[in-house]
Structure 1
């Protein structure tokens, strides 16, 4: 390859797959995580009993889109958020527990009918 093309590939972290030199260039989108990064990004497996949850944490237990969630908050279906700062919104873990129990009860009652 030409020197300038190699420099551009190096600068933009692009590569061509060796098995298909005619294939279009692809951008490298992820890097190997260090053990520290891997442990920091662990998934939330249990719903905490107390504390605050951000929307992404709530979404792991109640898988709805953000627009559906906010519509449900406005209509009173989902709990009201707590403003922790001007740009930070969270929900009480206790409220999310109550919501999950209520939704479970509704689902079991509908199944019996």
Structure 2
């Protein structure tokens, strides 16, 4: 083993706080930039959280490429529990355009 390979193997991963500081102020970040440095969970957990609306949804850049808005990732990291609660409240109070207009039709065809 050379000295360089020994340094590489003994090097500890950066602390999450250091990785958060390394994120750009604005823009988009890919999954490989978030895991494992910034987010303390696996890619599978990340996608489960996105599906449950417990983590910001990514932006589709192409059919096979997604990225996250840095501002939304920072908001999540600042207060993960608060992010989830705020999203749950927004989801519960969201109305469809039909509901807002009062044109909701029941399953029996009557206007509700």
Assess if the C-alpha contact under 8 Å between 1:58 and 1:96 holds in 2. Answer: no
Aligned-partner SS, 1:76: coil
TM-score normalised according to structure 1 size: 0.50
Across the aligned residues of Structure 1 and Structure 2, the Cα RMSD in angstroms comes to 2.2
Assess if the C-alpha contact under 8 Å between 1:79 and 1:96 holds in 2. Answer: yes
Residues 83 and 65 of structure 1: CA distance in aligned 2, closer, same or farther (over 3 Å): same
| 2:76 counterpart (99, 103, 112) | 99
- Unaligned stretches of 5+ in structure 2? 1-18, 84-112
Aligned-partner SS, 1:48: coil
Q: Which has the higher helix share?
A: 2
Instruction: Number of aligned residue pairs: give it.
Output: 64
Find the counterpart in structure 2 of residue 84 from structure 1.
61
| 1:63 counterpart (40, 50, 54) | 40
- Unaligned stretches of 5+ in structure 1? 1-43, 107-113
TM-score normalised according to structure 2 size: 0.51
